[in-house]
């Protein structure tokens, strides 16, 4: 299949390469020439621009930083017309960016008017999952659109969830990541409280993991150094999912909560805590480093 | 073995009966005659008083409501001398009450001075676990003391964790339950936010359960009615673990955090939320009913 | 002066009438005919549309519900062109709506390109202040623009603050109202805690008012019924500033905090609390009724 | 009058000296010989022990760090009998320590049984107020007991509030200081948010001070450096009221809230924030330095 891939960062790059490896013809674009070169090295083609990339494409995959980039790309901005005008009728857009659900819905509506399918398909699983092709996709769109996309998604991911109609993938992702942000702070608090009382963090973590406090952080991503050998906490809080990325997702959850008048006390608190952690200079560290806010180090 | 069992409530009663069924000689005491009668009906003996119960006992198991009851019972209060003076040297006390770690340590120190072993062994698993004999014990005491207690604990529970020295069982329990309180509010927020955006609570719950938001509440105890057939949420928030019990445990965690100068932002917030929920009249409902604070019902 | 006034609700209506009473020629528009009629009854003129209102106007005052209304009105929406194209070069726009600072800046930029002055001038002081002409204006714009506006602002308000360049009025207002939301919850907590300990709410309020806990709520707007005779709390939480309006302003503060990556733990928490209070059915009551969340009534 | 003064720290020392200066015979005791010497230098007498100090005293004033010190001193501890046994019948105890209300009540009850009056009279106003004799006293006890104490309190303070029966002084103080902790964090958030949007902290502070965000911190103790010349913020956060002291008072408020099952969401959050601030190494700085958690410095 002829595929355009736009946005080749730490996540998008490996995803595009997995599509190339699966035998697809992938025309790739990014503002960074180096990023394009990596895909070309694996057998992809370089596009001179986003407009060039979508020429003749049957499917377009995008992986961009924020709402305004997706809206600007497809709908245009600053007097420049958007890509929708140049994409072939009947094509399928898979947007894997993590953005506001309202933006997904706005672009999808314009796409539909132009005879183009648009689904939101944000991912979880990190750069490791992007490289291994084991990402989780949370998809918003019709069942039929998801089935169109499935063959491509399966080359990039291992779990594909149908969250609901367009925008629902974004909502599911921010709900999940809000909960993850809460789990990580809560788990950090619990361990820090135990350690302040003289408990061994490994012993306490194991007790809670097997009890009603059990959660993903205790299972796979313990914030206390040395409990999980391969977790970022045991590697100086490098790798993994950065504090500033968690802060962005928690910001999206709070914008959404504001829009629908939902009450998210712990989600709001988690955002404030990660914001303070970022202000203190830890924005580039893995988000599990938030335990430093709660426990004296060294 | 000759066992005294003091405190025969919803948890203590079935625990005492399991010891009876295992062939032990159990002399049981409670302020409620009915509670004593139930144990007698299963083959236990009635004690006329706590003092009567401990006469000649090799092991004493206690299951009492709060710190002051445990301290008063063993160390005395209001001019009345405590049970320690009447317990045989060399006996073993297993206190399964959920109380302040500092109280456990205070009583243990006095017991040690009297030549008596004392371990704290609070439980999780609810009344169902107490009846089935599948409780989880979190034990604070020496390894040797735990081994002394193990044959009895195994008749009442399925999982026995050695948390550390005396008091550590209490600390592990309040850390776990603080985390549980946070998980339940956080999970409720995430589901309520999704539903406010039009997502199906079952679909969203399943996505998060299998993603990085995964936790015990999503696994076994979903707060949204109808997602888990057997969870309290699907039975009008009856059964399970009451809001006021969660409030008590979160209070213990906050007292402990204050004592050791720990920072527990989400734990403190969870306590305030359950307190408000109780003030609104939901103290007797299962603690997962806290989702009502965050989502319009009906 | 020839003035167009658009948006004649509980606030805008009395403000327009004060301009009429000061001798200005005011052409007024609102979607509600009744609202227009009230201004006409005081000597204003009815405009058939917003477009009609601004014909020949030297100054345009707007008082609209939210960002999208202000942006839509001036910049156009849904294919319809905005008012800026029809406003005389050299005119002055005073927008007293409470909206996002970013929207104020966007509209101001377009106005400037069209040779029109635009300042943001949100108010505080409630409907009472609007009627009495004692509002507080927080103005964003150049010093020269403020001086142009001052003669009109002085007819509607008693305090005029120059917060900074365009958008700064909005920012100052949401900072102030975020703090107000926090003060009210914090004051409610402190009183509820004292009362739960048997203290007299009047005595405690007076002690804190004269000590380091002193704040505007204790001074003028006590949330406990009966402490301030004229406060909404003493009138069944009617009148005053509604819970849902406070929720809107706290939402604006959280959107802004997200945009600039600020950490506002108590502001976020206050928003979640007012949201839960609104979900519980108190959205239409005065915002000081939030004390009901923290204290059993009756 | 013959007065015993026990506890001569930063607060107690100057208070004792003010009693000396007023012409009273003051026998002073502290574990620090230096502290005693300072009072002696002003005309007081040195006591060899607390027991020595109270011999023949008509009034006893205490200013001790925490609940256990007051309870231990008067009721005894570790087998040692308390001072109550040695104080003359009919004497008056004024305890100005900030401790748990429950402890005040416990000691008062024992004092009453021994024919001794006991009132709690914690203070606010800092070391400056202690030296100047302008402290605020919040008194718990009967009206008659307060009148007995008033002549002494007036030598040490400028404002004397009768909060209610014994313990009420402590409750009023922790309610006030909980609110103060909230005000300071909330004010810091609001200023930090404004500054992040480009506003001038002085201008914004002045606007809020004169609007509905007005509070004691904006009036006298602005947390942003340079706004109030004499505030700790303008002196490197030295002087004033230390973070760890605020943390202690917030801890007392949370213990109290737990005991009476009150909901204090912002108070709990403020405690967690000050705890994190202390963990980060700022425990010895003035409590207004908490703004550092919310705003990048330098």
Q: Identify the helix (H) or strand (E) that includes residue A76.
A: strand A76-77
Alpha helices in A134-234 (DSSP H): 143-156, 168-196, 201-209, 216-220
Q: Cβ separation of A296 and D276 shorter than 8 Å?
A: no
Tell me: do D136 and D11 sit in the same domain: yes
| Cβ contact C269:D269 at 8 Å | yes
Q: Cβ separation of D261 and B278 shorter than 8 Å?
A: yes
> How high is the pLDDT of residue A239?
82
**B188 CA to chain C: closest CA distance, Å?**
13
Residues of C whose CB is below 8 A from D182: 182, 186, 189-190, 266
For the segment B65-124, what is each residue's pLDDT rounded down to a tens digit? 999 999 999 999 877 889 999 999 999 999 999 999 999 999 999 999 999 999 999 999
> How high is the pLDDT of residue D197?
96
Q: In this structure, what CATH number is given to the domain that contains residue B241? A: 1.10.1040.10
Closest listed residue to residue A286, CA positions, set A268, A274, A298, A294 = A274
Q: Is the confidence at residue B298, as pLDDT, over 70?
A: no
Tell me: do C30 and C147 sit in the same domain: yes
**C24 CA to chain D: closest CA distance, Å?**
29
Q: Is the confidence at residue C135, as pLDDT, over 70?
A: yes
Domain boundary (C165, C196, C228) is at: C165
Query: How far apart are alpha carbons A242 and A284 in whole angstroms?
Result: 6
| Cβ contact B206:B170 at 8 Å | no
Which of D175, D196, D266 has the CB atom closest to C262's CB atom?
D196
D298 found inside a domain = no
For the segment B137-181, what is each residue's pLDDT rounded down to a tens digit? 999 999 999 999 999 999 999 999 999 999 999 999 999 999 999
Tell me: do D178 and D92 sit in the same domain: no
Tell me: do C178 and C160 sit in the same domain: no
Domain boundary (A165, A187, A221) is at: A165
Tokens of C185: 């919850």
The beta strands (E) that lie in chain D are given as: 2-6, 25-29, 45-46, 59-62, 76-77, 80-81, 92-95, 117-120, 123-124, 135-140, 157-164
What does residue A149 show for φ and ψ, rounded to 5 degrees? -80, -25
| Cβ contact A24:A80 at 8 Å | no
* Exposure class string for C126-163: b at 16+ Cβ within 10 A, else e: bbebbbebebbbbbbbeeebbebbeebbebbbebbbbb
Residues of A whose CB is below 8 A from C247: 261
Residues of A whose CB is below 8 A from D278: none
Query: How far apart are alpha carbons C50 and C43 in whole angstroms?
Result: 19
Subunits close to C (at least 3 CB pairs below 8 A): A, B, D
| Cβ contact B178:B264 at 8 Å | yes
A247 found inside a domain = yes
Q: Cβ separation of B265 and C265 shorter than 8 Å?
A: yes
Which of B263, B265, B275 has the CB atom closest to D262's CB atom?
B275
> How high is the pLDDT of residue A127?
86
Residue with tokens 């009744």: C34
Tell me: do C139 and C182 sit in the same domain: no
Mean pLDDT of all residues belonging to chain D: 96
**C217 CA to chain B: closest CA distance, Å?**
21
Tell me which chain D residue has its CA closest to the CA of residue C164. D199
Catalytic, C173? Answer yes
Residues of C whose CB is below 8 A from A254: 254-255, 258, 268
For chain A, list residues whose CB is within 8 angstroms of any CB belonging to chain C: 247, 251, 254-255, 257-258, 261-265, 268-269, 271-273, 275-276, 278-279
Contact pairs from chain A to chain B, CB under 8 Å: 238
B210 found inside a domain = yes
Residues of A whose CB is below 8 A from C261: 247, 251, 275, 278-279
Residues of C whose CB is below 8 A from A255: 254-255, 258
Residues of C whose CB is below 8 A from B254: none
Tell me which chain D residue has its CA closest to the CA of residue B269. D265
> How high is the pLDDT of residue A155?
98
| Cβ contact D114:D84 at 8 Å | yes
Question: What is the SS3 assignment for A61?
Answer: strand
Domain count, chain D: 2
**A169 CA to chain C: closest CA distance, Å?**
21
Q: Cβ separation of A163 and B197 shorter than 8 Å?
A: no
**What is the band of C297 on the pLDDT scale with cuts at 50, 70, 90?**
low
Ranges in chain D, pLDDT < 70: 297-298
Q: Is the confidence at residue C77, as pLDDT, over 90?
A: no
**What is the band of B297 on the pLDDT scale with cuts at 50, 70, 90?**
low
Query: How far apart are alpha carbons D60 and D86 in whole angstroms?
Result: 12
Q: Is the confidence at residue C125, as pLDDT, over 90?
A: no
Closest listed residue to residue D276, CA positions, set D264, D293, D291 = D293
Q: Provide the domain limits for residue B136.
A: 2-165
B190 found inside a domain = yes
A41 found inside a domain = yes
* Dihedral sign computed on CA atoms, order D137, D140, D144, D148: negative
Within 8 A by CB and 6+ apart from D242, the residues are D283, D284, D285, D286, D287
Tell me: do B188 and B240 sit in the same domain: yes
| Cβ contact B204:A138 at 8 Å | no
Best mutation target among C137, C197, C220 (most D Cβ atoms within 10 Å) is C197
Q: Cβ separation of B197 and A256 shorter than 8 Å?
A: yes
For chain B, list residues whose CB is within 8 angstroms of any CB belonging to chain D: 247, 251, 254-255, 257-258, 261-265, 268-269, 271-273, 275-276, 278-279
Which of A247, A265, A278 has the CB atom closest to C272's CB atom?
A265
| Cβ contact D111:D62 at 8 Å | no
Tell me: do C284 and C243 sit in the same domain: yes
Tell me: do C148 and C189 sit in the same domain: no
Domain boundary (B165, B187, B219) is at: B165
Tell me: do A230 and A106 sit in the same domain: no
A298 found inside a domain = no
Subunits close to A (at least 3 CB pairs below 8 A): B, C, D
> How high is the pLDDT of residue B96?
98
For the segment C11-67, what is each residue's pLDDT rounded down to a tens digit? 999 999 999 999 999 999 999 999 999 999 999 999 999 999 999 999 999 999 999
| Cβ contact B118:B93 at 8 Å | yes
**B15 CA to chain D: closest CA distance, Å?**
29
End-to-end CA distance of chain A: 54
- Segment B284-296 mean pLDDT: 95
Q: Is the confidence at residue C298, as pLDDT, over 60?
A: no
Query: Catalytic positions of D, please?
Result: 173
> How high is the pLDDT of residue B135?
95
C250 found inside a domain = yes
Closest listed residue to residue D93, CA positions, set D56, D65, D64, D119 = D119
Tell me: do A273 and A188 sit in the same domain: yes
Question: What is the SS3 assignment for B208?
Answer: helix
For the segment C172-217, what is each residue's pLDDT rounded down to a tens digit? 999 999 999 999 999 999 999 999 999 999 999 999 999 999 999 9
In this structure, what DSSP letter does residue D184 have? H
Tell me which chain D residue has its CA closest to the CA of residue A294. D276
Residues of A whose CB is below 8 A from C265: 269, 272-273, 276
**A238 CA to chain C: closest CA distance, Å?**
22
B205 found inside a domain = yes
Residue with tokens 């025309």: A27
Q: Specify the pairing of strand C80-81 against strand C92-95.
A: unpaired
This complex has an ipTM of 0.94
- Helix %, strand %, coil % of chain D (to 5): 55, 15, 30
Question: What is the SS3 assignment for A144?
Answer: helix
Which of C254, C261, C268 has the CB atom closest to A247's CB atom?
C261
Q: In this structure, what CATH number is given to the domain that contains residue D121? A: 3.40.50.720
**C122 CA to chain B: closest CA distance, Å?**
30
Which of D247, D264, D269 has the CB atom closest to B261's CB atom?
D247
User: Of residues C27, C106, C173, C248, which has the active-site annotation?
Assistant: C173
Tell me: do B180 and B84 sit in the same domain: no
> How high is the pLDDT of residue D18?
98
Q: Cβ separation of A179 and B200 shorter than 8 Å?
A: no
Ranges in chain A, pLDDT < 50: none
Query: How far apart are alpha carbons A276 and C264 in whole angstroms?
Result: 9
Tell me which chain D residue has its CA closest to the CA of residue C257. D193
Tokens of A110: 């314009």
Tell me: do B151 and B177 sit in the same domain: no
Tell me which chain B residue has its CA closest to the CA of residue A202. B163
Within 8 A by CB and 6+ apart from A27, the residues are A2, A3, A4, A5, A44, A45, A46, A47, A52, A53, A55, A57
What does residue C87 show for φ and ψ, rounded to 5 degrees? -90, 140
Query: Catalytic positions of A, please?
Result: 173
Q: Cβ separation of C258 and A251 shorter than 8 Å?
A: yes
């Amino acid at each position: 299949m002829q595929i355009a891939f736009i946005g080749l960062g730490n996540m998008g790059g490996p995803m595009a390469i997995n599509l190339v490896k699966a035998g697809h013809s992938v025309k790739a674009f990014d503002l960074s020439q180096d990023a394009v070169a990596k895909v070309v090295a694996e057998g992809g083609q370089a596009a001179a621009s986003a407009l060039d990339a979508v020429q003749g494409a049957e499917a377009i995959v995008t992986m961009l930083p924020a709402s305004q980039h997706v809206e600007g790309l497809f709908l245009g901005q600053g007097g420049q017309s958007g890509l929708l005008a140049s994409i072939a009728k009947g094509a399928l857009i898979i947007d894997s960016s993590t953005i506001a659900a309202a933006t997904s819905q706005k672009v999808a509506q314009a796409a539909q008017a132009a005879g183009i399918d648009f689904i939101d398909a944000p991912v979880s699983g990190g750069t490791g999952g992007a490289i291994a092709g084991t990402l989780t996709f949370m998809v918003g769109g019709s069942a039929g659109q998801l089935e169109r996309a499935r063959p491509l998604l399966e080359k990039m991911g291992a779990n594909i969830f149908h969250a609901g109609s367009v925008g629902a993938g974004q909502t599911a992702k921010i709900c999940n990541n809000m909960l993850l942000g809460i789990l990580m702070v809560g788990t950090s608090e619990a361990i820090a409280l135990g350690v302040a009382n003289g408990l061994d963090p490994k012993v306490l973590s194991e007790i809670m993991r097997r009890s009603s406090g059990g959660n993903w952080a205790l299972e796979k991503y313990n914030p206390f150094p040395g409990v999980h050998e391969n977790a970022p906490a045991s590697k100086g809080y490098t790798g993994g999912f950065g504090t500033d990325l968690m802060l962005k997702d928690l910001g999206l959850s709070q914008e959404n909560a504001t829009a629908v008048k939902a009450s998210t006390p712990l989600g709001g608190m988690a955002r404030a805590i990660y914001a303070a952690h970022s202000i203190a200079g830890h924005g580039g560290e893995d988000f599990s480093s938030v335990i430093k806010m709660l426990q004296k180090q060294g």
